[in-house]
Chain A
Amino acid sequence: MGTKATRKDFYMEIRKSPGRFLSILFIVALGVAFFSGIRSSEPSMRITGDAYLDDSSLMDIKAVSTMGITEDDIAAIEEVEGVWRAEGAYSADFLTNTDEEQYALHVMSLGDEMNMAEVTEGRLPEKVGECLADDRMGYEVGDKIVLLSGTDDPVSDTLKTEELTVVGTGSSACYISLNRGSTTIGTGSINGFLVVPENTFDLDVYTEVYVQVEGAADLTAFTDAYDEKIEAVIDRIEGITDERSEARRQDIIDEANEELEDARTELAEGKAEAEAELADAAQKIADGESQIQEARAEIEDGKKKIADAKSTLNSKQKELDSAKSEYYSGMQQLRNGKAAYEQGLAEFEAGRPEAEAKIQEGEAALAQGREQLDQGWASYYELLDAIKSLEAILEGAGNQPNPEPVEPEQPGEPDPVAPDQSNQEQLETVRAGQNRTGEQTGQPGQSADLQAQLEVLKSQAAAAKQELDAAEQEYSEQNAALEAARQQFQSAKQQLTGTKVMLDANESVLQQAYEQIQSGQSQIDSGWKELKSQETTLLSGEQELEAKTQELEDAKADYEEGKKEAEEEIADGEQKIADAEAELEDLDLPKWYVYDRSTLPELNGYGENADRMRAIGQVFPVIFFLVAALISLTSMTRMVEEQRIEIGTMKALGYSKRAIAGKYLGYALLATVGGSVIGVLIGEKLLPYIIIYAYGIIYPHVTHILVPYNWTYAAIASGAAIACTTVATFGACYRELGAQPAVLMRPPAPKKGKRVFLERIGIIWKHLNFSWKSTIRNLMRYKKRFFMTIFGIGGCMALMIVGFGLRDSIFEIADIQYKELQIYDGSIYLQEDLTEEDKNDLQAFLEKDKDVDRFMDAYMKNVTLTNGKKERATYECVLGTPEEAEQYVHFRDRKTKETYELSDHGVIISEKTAKLLDVKIGDTIYIKDEETGNKEVKIENICENYMGHYIYFTPVYYEEVFGEEPEYNSIFFAVDDSYSKKELEDVGKEILAEDEVLSVSYMHDIEKQLNDMLKSLNLVIVVLIISAGMLAFVVLYNLNNINITERQRELATLKVLGFYDPEVAAYVYRENILLTFIGAAVGVVFGKFLHLFVIQTVEVDAAMFGRTINLPSYIYSLLFTLAFSMIVNGVMFFKLRKIDMVESLKSIE
């Protein structure tokens, strides 16, 4: 550059006006920093993400097959061109219960080379039963996790153990963000992952294969280059999958055939066995039957025997009875006999003294008779002497009376034995005899009288003798009679004794007989008893027999049934085998699915976030940059114009145009290059770092932030800045330099005053005070400045509105979503496999619970919606009672606020879902169902929704689509609006205490979660707002500066005219304020559009951000803009004060 003088002038220029130089430098730095910083955030994000993924050696491709993956498959994949290495792995989803909740866990095998887990605490699992748990799950080292399958299959089908011990916690690159993906068990979403050693799995084949592509690690993930490379390899892998499928199918067929063979043999065996068993059973039944037959005969026999025995017993009884009656009659007789004996004895005893007396008397009489007789006999003899012949006769009569008195004494002691009839009779006779004897012995004296008359009476003697003889006879008779009586007595006694003996004998006989009878009776009784027992035995035997018969019948029926069953089973088995054969015949090829990394949850989201950053980078910094560039070029133009005279002088002195322009170009270049360098150096490091750091909230494990310089953006930004400024400077110089030096040194023609449009509206104009009139005219006069300022302020305002608006849009969604759209307070998730009864119990409980204001059954499930190639994971939600739906979910149009009702003819889907699937009302979409085929549903309405994706059904329509009733698995509930958060949670706790309830979730929790997530963008927004604010400041400062310098003379004049400083300032400020407001108004409009654009590009797929900017945001932005304006004006005030009034005296430059 030219001469020493020009160089000196150049440096002096900078030193003299450091404000201008620095302001250009700073604004360029700001513009370049913002532009290159925000733009390079995107590649930096990708690089950071890529580094993270490469560090954990994340697979590039994941392939799964419906029938598992074999070692051969892996070997085959490794052969594929472009594949660096492949590794088989296992994974499966399980549930686990904690005290409060049920979690779904994704259990995956620890890779050798790929998908490394990063340990945060503890260590990696080494043996079966150990695991590394997800950081997010909150497990601690040493915790035990018991897994549940969540299906009918036991855990042991997949794993060797159900219980895992946490030996470490950590993260996995498979889960870059907070989302853990979805599953088919539990609530449908996975809460966390577990990493276990490979041998924990008990599976024959791998569930998946991970593939890394050659050279892919060198490429940056999330870039097209990477994607293309992977795509190509995926295509090639897909190319061999048919072959692999075939091979796998063959394997399966072979295996199945083997199994089928086994099954056939088994069936045959089974058949034989069944037959044998059946035959056996038949045999047994036959045996049983004959046994029963026999038993029956036996029983019959027994019965007969019993009957016989009975009749025998009866006859015996009869005999016994007759014996008994005999015995009784005998007894009676005995008793009679006894009585008779008693009587006889009594009589005898009574009669005995008399009889004894009589006998005595008889003896006495006999003795007397004897005497008399003897006398008679003596007389007789005396006579006989005379009659001797008569004495012989008298002698004969003398022996008879002697035994008489003895006999009756003998039966003196009567026996108490029962009398016998015959004895009685004998006794009677004896008695009678006795009596008679007694009577006979009463007349012994008669013979003695006869004796005396003998001789004389020889005849007499003879007669006497006769008489004597007769008397002797009589005496003898008497004696005999007495003897007889005695004998009789004796015999009576004897008889009595005999009777007694007899009675006694009889009695003993009777006793004996009685005993005999007794024993007979007891024999009979025991006979009966035995008979009875025999009978019972028989009866039980009979019963048994009946039972046996029944059993036999049953057995027969069983047999029949068994036979049938066996036949059926066999038939079934045969059918199955046939089926299996048939199935095998047309066994589908296993399906292979080859995925890139996008199959990992939210991994794509990272790339999308980078894309979003790029989208922001495409608009935001450009505007920013434009403002900055405009300001710097205006400053430079202004500078050139200000130095018109100097230029003229230089030119007049003969300096070349190049040399003159060189100063300004150099000035501009130095300021812009300096600014660019500073901007690039700081901006490209700081902004991406802040942004990636902010995203760390969503990607907590991506902690190693890489922010390399991105020279492309640096070059673009710097180049543009430099070009803008230098070209503008050059243009200005060129214009000035074109003129003659004389013209340059003369003051430029004064600018024309112009009437402005507003003057034509008399009413307004007349009412404007003078200052305002001049202000308005002034504004119009400096059109360039006017538009520049408006553009600058408008741009800043717009940026700030976008910043605040983003906050609104993002933070508002939680509010709208959970206060206006989904207006229930929480969801109750039910235990699985609840019976109707359980559900009714819970219903009753909820109805009774006074705290629960309302509740409704709902069915929630994760599904995938498809429309052509577009897919979207969505919550399928069936509302139990659609007519009450509006108390839980508001379906409405976002713009018109028109409300919809759920109908039985179609679904309502959320707005974002519809947008992503590119469908509209009336279109048909599909719910993906790999098992039974996709289900077609018709979209009846599209509703406003911000968080998540929903597809709403009525139960009726659900049934129509799925062919089955929805199994309500959750309950939406709400409490009274006046309840605090705490009170709500208390209510929830009560509900959770019910057995049927699996978990309770609150909307405010989700709201909070959401807000937490969105905080990441908050920082980005703060960056935006601060940058916009800084820009606003610089812009205003510059423009004001220009304004003041341009109008220095005017202001000086005002001062001379006696305007106080504040009045002078007000004169300027009025314009500034007006400009600020106009700029702000423009900014509002501009900002609104920019906001809409930015929102749409920034939006994550999972959510729809609000489209509205709240009033406070406008106010904040305005206040900020005003504040900056005020600060700038404040700074300007001092500058204004410094304006020298002498300026007004100078000639016009």
Chain B
Amino acid sequence: MSGFVSLEDVKKIYRMGEVEIMAAAGIDFQIHKGEFAVVVGPSGAGKTTVLNILGGMDTASEGKVLVDGQDIASYSQKQLTAYRRDDIGFVFQFYNLIPNLTALENVELALQICKDPMDARAVLEEVGLGERLDNFPAQLSGGEQQRVSIARALAKNPKLLLCDEPTGALDYNTGKSILKLLQDTCRNKGMTVILITHNSAIAPMADRVIKIKNGKVADIIENKHPVPVETIEW
């Protein structure tokens, strides 16, 4: 039971006054290095909690979160920040680009705090935005913005690429192309990608599908033969 990413009985309890809400009620799963994993589940199932914990944006109330052998659950805030900074690439649903920075600058924004960054231009070219380096987010389409966001995450050369509903705000085709980009990245670069979505339709493209329901892992499907994104319809 050893994976690149391993969650062991992770629980997250929010206290709202007298009430305790259990966002994660003991989640266990492992993801191997270089896998394209999809965490899927309905709203309120605990996907985001998982993402937050994995992304170092939140700490688990209980359990272990091992990333590359390190238990980030026991990290301090500072360690967590370092973890986010060095090990994690984050792709947001709403891209979260800095509006008054150009595409290139948005990537550079992430790079300047990074230990071993890639070349921003190269990354942007890789994601297919070689022509739009100097455009502001407002001048880019949603897909392009998401590409910038992905480039920003990739440029950091992270151990783990976390994507929160990356297609959620995109139209179908664009969404598909983004998923393709992610899949390609995973395949070509051996990047471990964890994608969180409520859209179970995209599960076939993943190496591993983790289904979450009511704060618990409902099912883990290992796809021996994931299909290319193009073939998936939803």
Question: Which chain A residues have a beta carbon within 8 Å of chain B's beta carbons?
Answer: 749-754, 770-771, 773-774, 777-778, 780-781, 1049-1050, 1053-1061, 1063, 1141-1142, 1144-1145, 1147-1148
Contacts and interface: CB of A to CB of B under 8 A. Distances in A.
Nearest to A1148: B94
17 contacts: A750-B99, A752-B138, A752-B139, A771-B112, A777-B100, A780-B100, A1056-B96, A1057-B90, A1057-B152, A1058-B83, A1058-B85, A1058-B86, A1058-B113, A1063-B113, A1142-B48, A1144-B96, A1148-B94
Contacts of A751: 99-100, 138
Contacts of B92: 1053, 1056, 1144-1145
A1057 B92 CA distance: 11
A770 B101 CA distance: 10
Interface stretch (B24-32, B50-58, B197-205, B216-224): B50-58
A750 B100 CA distance: 10
Given A1056-B96, A1058-B83, A1141-B58, 10 more contacts: A770-B112, A774-B98, A780-B100, A781-B100, A1049-B96, A1056-B92, A1057-B109, A1058-B113, A1058-B156, A1059-B85
Contacts of A780: 100
Contact of A753 (B82, B96, B100, B113): B100
Contacts of B98: 774, 1050, 1053
B57 A754 contact: no
A1053 B85 contact: no
Contacts of B112: 770-771
Interface in B134-178: 136-139, 152, 156, 164
A1049 B93 CA distance: 13
Nearest to A749: B138
Given A1049-B96, A1147-B94, A753 B78 contact: no
A140 to B, nearest CB: 75
Contact of A1058 (B84, B93, B101): B84
A753 B99 contact: yes
Contact of B81 (A753, A770, A1058): A1058
B103 to A, nearest CB: 10
B99 A752 contact: yes
B109 A750 contact: no
Contacts of A752: 99, 136, 138-139
B207 interface: no
Interface in B70-118: 78, 81-86, 88, 90, 92-94, 96, 98-102, 105, 108-110, 112-114
A866 B124 CA distance: 83
Contacts of A754: 100, 136
A780 B136 CA distance: 14
A753 B140 CA distance: 11
B105 A773 contact: yes
B176 to A, nearest CB: 22
A1142 B113 contact: no
B116 to A, nearest CB: 13
Contacts of A1058: 81-86, 88, 110, 113-114, 156
Contacts of B139: 752-753
Contacts of A1055: 57, 81, 84
Contact of A1053 (B51, B96, B113): B96
B113 A1141 contact: no
Most buried by B among A753, A773, A1053: A753
A28 to B, nearest CB: 33
B48 A1145 contact: yes
Contacts of B152: 1057
B85 A753 contact: no
A1145 B164 contact: yes
Nearest to B196: A1145
Contact of A774 (B48, B81, B100, B138): B100
Contacts of A1145: 48, 51-52, 92-93, 164
Interface in B32-54: 48, 51-52
Most buried by B among A781, A1049, A1053, A1058: A1058
Contacts of A1147: 93-94
Nearest to B49: A1142
Interface residues of B, number: 38
Contacts of B94: 1147-1148
A1049 to B, nearest CB: 7
Most buried by B among A751, A778, A1057, A1147: A1057
A1060 B136 contact: no
Contacts of B88: 1058
A1142 B58 contact: yes
B99 A1142 contact: no
A1060 B78 contact: yes
B78 A1056 contact: no
A1057 B85 contact: yes
A219 B114 CA distance: 77
Contacts of A1059: 81, 85, 113
Most buried by A among B48, B82, B98, B114: B98
A941 B114 CA distance: 71
> Sorted from nearest, which 4 A-B pairs have the closest CB atoms?
A1058-B85, A753-B136, A1058-B84, A753-B100
Contacts of A1053: 92, 96, 98
A1056 B89 CA distance: 9
Contacts of B138: 749-753
Nearest to A769: B112
Nearest to A1147: B94
Contacts of B114: 1058
B84 A770 contact: no
A781 B99 contact: yes
Nearest to B145: A750
A44 B82 CA distance: 63
Contacts of A778: 100
Contacts of A1057: 84-85, 90, 109-110, 113, 152
Nearest to A1064: B81
A1056 B137 contact: no
B143 to A, nearest CB: 15
B177 to A, nearest CB: 21
A9 B136 CA distance: 39
B99 A1056 contact: no
A774 B57 contact: no
Most buried by B among A774, A777, A1055, A1145: A1145
Nearest to A1056: B90
B105 A774 contact: yes
Contacts of A774: 98, 100-101, 105, 109
A452 to B, nearest CB: 227
A749 to B, nearest CB: 8
A463 to B, nearest CB: 228
A1053 B106 CA distance: 11
Nearest to B134: A755
A281 B98 CA distance: 129
A1035 to B, nearest CB: 24
B187 to A, nearest CB: 25
A773 B106 CA distance: 11
A751 to B, nearest CB: 6
Nearest to A779: B100
A771 B105 CA distance: 10
Contact of A750 (B78, B82, B93, B137): B137
Contacts of B102: 753
B3 to A, nearest CB: 23
A558 to B, nearest CB: 119
Given A750-B138, A753-B136, A1142 B105 contact: no
A339 B161 CA distance: 194
A1060 B114 CA distance: 12
Most buried by B among A781, A1059, A1147: A1059
A780 B93 CA distance: 27
Contacts of A753: 99-102, 136-139
B52 A770 contact: no
